[in-house]
A and B are shown apart, each in its own frame.
Chain A
């Protein structure tokens, strides 16, 4: 910053940016740490209610089953066999738990088939999603 030679009394008005940068860094680190890239099914599911449910891991593979028995992963409809292949592919990269998000009025048979497929694909922890209260 060049100071004018004539006006020696004029005060350089500059904002000290360091505290702001500090704050932004802290925010940035917070968001980097908390971000998990979970692929959401993109489907409205009315989950069944349960009293003994627990919090599940945030970073999981979420497979949804709609009320009309469609199996959805990441916004795309997959068949029963497709789910197995997809989950197997995802598990080769990272060993993640699997959450099956089935609608309360979907058929149990579909849930059972998806469970078996996911188990055969090598998932170690399979949970079903319930209503949060």
Chain B
């Protein structure tokens, strides 16, 4: 608060009352604190082969992993484990851009599908996609 001049006793104090403004700001502040949610989502971006791409797709030059209704992963007719998926994909794909397709049965658990996708991506598959069979 400024010192009042001793000379000008008649001089009127022009001061803005800040309290209502502070009240408003407090209410706004509380509103934003309450509504703020710090959502942190982690995830994978997934694709399906689109019609145009699948027509051009060379069938010999792709890896197909099949997931059965009983959550078993089949590759070239035999059942393989998650570690084997990574190794087989790495051995076949190498540095090339060979498409990897996951064909999952519709009754497969979503968790199994995600772990297969994860295993294939760890093996270095660049163009991963999924399709559903029933």
Contact = CB atoms under 8 A, between A and B. Distances in A.
A55 B108 CA distance: 26
A107 B43 contact: no
23 contacts: A21-B22, A24-B26, A28-B28, A35-B32, A38-B37, A48-B110, A48-B115, A50-B44, A52-B122, A53-B43, A54-B43, A62-B41, A105-B110, A107-B109, A108-B104, A108-B132, A109-B132, A112-B106, A125-B45, A127-B44, A127-B45, A132-B40, A133-B42
B54 interface: no
Interface in A27-67: 27-28, 31-32, 34-38, 40, 48-56, 58, 60, 62, 65
A27 B132 CA distance: 49
Contacts of B44: 50, 52-54, 127-128, 130
A130 B107 contact: no
A28 B122 contact: no
A32 B13 CA distance: 35
Nearest to A27: B29
Contacts of B112: 108
A108 B4 CA distance: 78
Contact of A115 (B13, B33, B46): B46
A84 B25 CA distance: 40
A51 B36 CA distance: 29
B39 interface: yes
Interface of A: 1, 3, 12, 14, 16-17, 20-21, 24-25, 27-28, 31-32, 34-38, 40, 48-56, 58, 60, 62, 65, 99, 101-112, 115-116, 119, 125-133
Contacts of B113: 48, 108, 111
B110 A108 contact: yes
B114 A28 contact: no
Nearest to A14: B1
B107 A56 contact: no
A12 B1 contact: yes
Given A1-B13, A48-B111, A56 B41 contact: yes
A65 B113 CA distance: 15
B29 A108 contact: no
B39 A105 contact: no
